[in-house]
Structures are given as C-alpha cells and as structure tokens.
C-alpha cells in the first residue's frame, strides 16, 4: 500500500544509433552542465541567458550601469535606497558593478560551453519580457507597463534601442570574454524575436560596436524563427543570419493568433496544427536552398512532447532537434528509426 508502480529501462549507451539529424539539448542552469553532458548529445541547441541572469545576478543591467547615479539619488528615495542595498550585497566584491554582470554571465555561459565542449553551444541573448525585467532588482525604473508584453518590447527590438543598448553591450562583452579570453569558441549566439531583416542588421551592427563581430573567430549568429515574418521573409533573413532555430511555442501562438497563457483558448494551442507544420517545412526548404545553405534547427517544446512531430521534422530534412534532457535518449532512438524508414523507402523507389 502506498507504493507506486514503476519500471526500469536500461540502454547501453555504446550501442545507441547515431542519426544524421543532430540531437541537441535545451539548457538553462549552468551547474548541471557537466552531469547532463554525459547524456549522448550533439551539443546545446538553446542555452538561455535568462536562467543565469535570474538565478545568479538578479539585478536589472541598467541599474548596474547607472549605479553611481542611482546611489546619489537614493539619499532622498527610500525605495531606491533598498535597491542600492541589494545591489551592494549581491556584488560586494565589485567596485565596477558592470563587471559583476559581465563576469557572472560569462562564468555561467562558460560552464555550459565547457561541459559540452567541443560540441557547439548556441546561446540565446536575453529574451525577458518587460514584466519579467521589471521583477529584477531596480527593474521598475527602466521597464514600461505593457498590456501584452508577449508581443511587446522584447528580443531584438531592445538590443539597438538607446534605452537598453548599453545593457545589451554587457551581454556582448560576456560572450566575447567566453570566446576570446576563455577560448570556448564552440559558443555561438542567437537573436530572439527578430521581426524584420532590417532589425536583424541593426542587432548585428550593435554587436560589432561592442566588439562581437559576426564571422570573426568563426562566430556564427543564428535567429529564432518564431514569428510568421521569419518564414515569409526567410530568404532575406538568411542573408543576415547564419542559421535558423525554430521556436515552436511562439510560432504556434502567433500563427494561430492566440495567447497560450489564456485558459479560454489554450485548448486550440497545438504545434501539430497544419498551418504551423507548413511554415516549418517552408523555412527549412528556403534555408536549405539559400546560397550558402543555412542550417535549421528547432528548440521549442514540440519535439519533446510529441514524437510524431519529431518524425515530421526529420521528414522535412531538419538539421538538428534540441530537446529537454529527459527525452534525449528516447528521441534519439525514434529519430534513428525514422531515418532508417526514409532510407529504405528511397532505396525501394530507386529500384
């Protein structure tokens, strides 16, 4: 009584098939990198900066950049005085508070990159929404209130905006430190929520201003494919970026015109919807036809939740699938079987 039924499945790692499709990992908290990397994988398809910023920094980057001014103002502002007290507590060993952000973010990224080295680790620049940034220490001073932050001031649109650009500079300096100082050149970067090719060019330019040059030391810059415009203008985006990573959650939400956080319409949300699947196939086809050929991966939740969706991606010729660690092995076996079926079918057609 009280005991739960369970079963144990043992898989001999040395006998695992290695599919042509890269099986990568979604990753957040750096501390588990060296353990999780023991799971057979082809690298990290999505390393989220937000986890590092939330867990190890916790302070709005602009509050660190403007620390000296805020400290003066705090003499007559009780709320701000508490912000300064918290900043001092978290960054006690740093006179220059900007260095606290750069070093802490760099160390977090470096742990992940070292754990999975030499496989590539794709680090997505911060993708907090305004309400999430506002929850960081001092964030209330810098973030507007938006009715729908999900489609508001987030991702690429922040990076070149004068109100946030200095903060983006700290992220770029952290990446540069990981690659150029620590030598972890397996780190690539990814730009989220980029609405237009012109916006992409502005981000690439801003990166260069902070010393992070696309192509320098083989630095590749990917773009999240999570807005219908990323698919409709895929040819133009492919001329700006080195590859695409499909974010199936936002792509589904924006294709079907629904708020996935709303209980009233949540039942309609389904990455397997035919409209979403057609967009996925379309961007893969366009990216692969582009000269030079662009890689396409996926880092959304769908392949983890729905094995049949992973099958569809392989049929479409996707280059990589990035998954949650708990489904890496089962998906790898499934993908290998799908590829075998495709190869057998091709042989039969050829005879």
Per-residue pLDDT tens digits for 200-219: 999 999 999 999 999 999 99
Q: ∠340-345-350 over CA atoms, to 5°?
A: 125
Domains of the chain, residue spans: 1-21+221-351, 41-188+203-219
**Beta strands, E only, 193-294:** 221-225, 243-246
Cβ count near 236 (within 10 Å): 15
Model confidence over 143-182: pLDDT tens digits?
A: 999 999 999 999 999 999 999 999 999 999 999 999 999 9
Distance of CA 318 to the CA centre of its chain: 18
For residue 257, the surrounding DSSP H or E stretch is none
CA 281 to chain centre: 21
* 1-21+221-351 and 41-188+203-219 share one fold: yes
- Cα 251 to Cα 83, 115, 231, 278, 322: the distances in Å are 37, 30, 10, 12, 16
Neighbours of 278 (CB within 10 A): 12
Angle in degrees, CA 133, 136, 141, rounded to 5:
75
Is the confidence at residue 350, as pLDDT, over 80?
no
Helix (H, G, I), strand (E, B) or coil at 60: coil
* pLDDT in the model for residue 1: 62
Residue showing tokens 């499709």: 21
Output the six-digit token pair for 91. Answer: 């960054």
Residue 25 clears pLDDT 60, i.e. is over it: yes
Structure tokens at 222: 């990917």
Q: How many beta carbons lie within 10 A of that of residue 333, not counting itself?
A: 15
Superfamily for the 1-21+221-351 domain: Phosphoenolpyruvate-binding domains (3.20.20.60)
Closest CA to 52 of 34, 30, 36, 32: 30
Q: Which CATH class is domain 41-188+203-219?
A: alpha beta
pTM: 0.94
Structure-block tokens of residue 216:
């320098």
Mean pLDDT score of the chain: 95
């Amino acid at each position: 009584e009280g005991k739960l039924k369970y079963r144990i499945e043992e898989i001999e790692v040395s006998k695992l098939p290695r599919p042509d499709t890269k099986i990568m990992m979604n990753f957040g908290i750096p501390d588990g990198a060296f353990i999780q990397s023991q799971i057979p994988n082809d690298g990290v398809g999505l390393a989220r900066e937000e986890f590092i910023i939330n867990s190890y920094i916790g302070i709005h980057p602009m509050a660190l950049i403007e620390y000296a001014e805020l400290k003066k103002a705090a003499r007559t502002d009780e709320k701000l005085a508490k912000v300064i007290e918290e900043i001092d507590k978290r960054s006690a060993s740093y006179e220059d508070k900007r260095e606290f952000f750069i070093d802490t973010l760099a160390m977090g990224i470096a742990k992940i990159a070292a754990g999975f080295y030499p496989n590539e680790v794709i680090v997505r620049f911060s993708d907090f929404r305004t309400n999430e940034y506002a929850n960081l220490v001092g964030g209330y001073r810098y973030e507007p209130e938006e009715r729908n932050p999900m489609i508001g001031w987030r991702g690429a649109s922040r990076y070149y905006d004068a109100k946030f650009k200095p903060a983006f500079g700290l992220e770029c300096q952290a990446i540069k430190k990981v690659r150029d100082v620590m030598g972890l050149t397996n780190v690539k970067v990814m730009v989220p929520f980029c609405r237009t090719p012109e916006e992409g060019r502005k981000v690439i330019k801003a990166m260069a201003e902070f010393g992070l040059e696309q192509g320098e030391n083989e630095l590749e810059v990917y773009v999240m494919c999570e807005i219908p415009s990323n698919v409709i203008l895929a040819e133009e985006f492919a001329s700006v970026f080195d590859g695409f990573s499909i974010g199936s959650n936002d792509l589904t939400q924006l294709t079907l015109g629904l708020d996935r956080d709303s209980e009233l319409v949540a039942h309609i949300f389904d990455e397997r919807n035919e409209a979403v699947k057609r967009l996925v196939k379309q961007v893969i086809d366009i990216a692969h036809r582009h000269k030079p050929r662009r890689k396409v991966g996926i880092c959304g939740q769908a392949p983890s939740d729905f094995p049949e969706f992973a099958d569809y991606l392989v049929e479409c010729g996707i280059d990589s699938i990035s998954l949650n660690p708990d489904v890496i092995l089962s998906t790898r076996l499934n993908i290998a079987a799908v590829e075998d079926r495709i190869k057998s079918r091709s042989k039969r057609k050829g005879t």
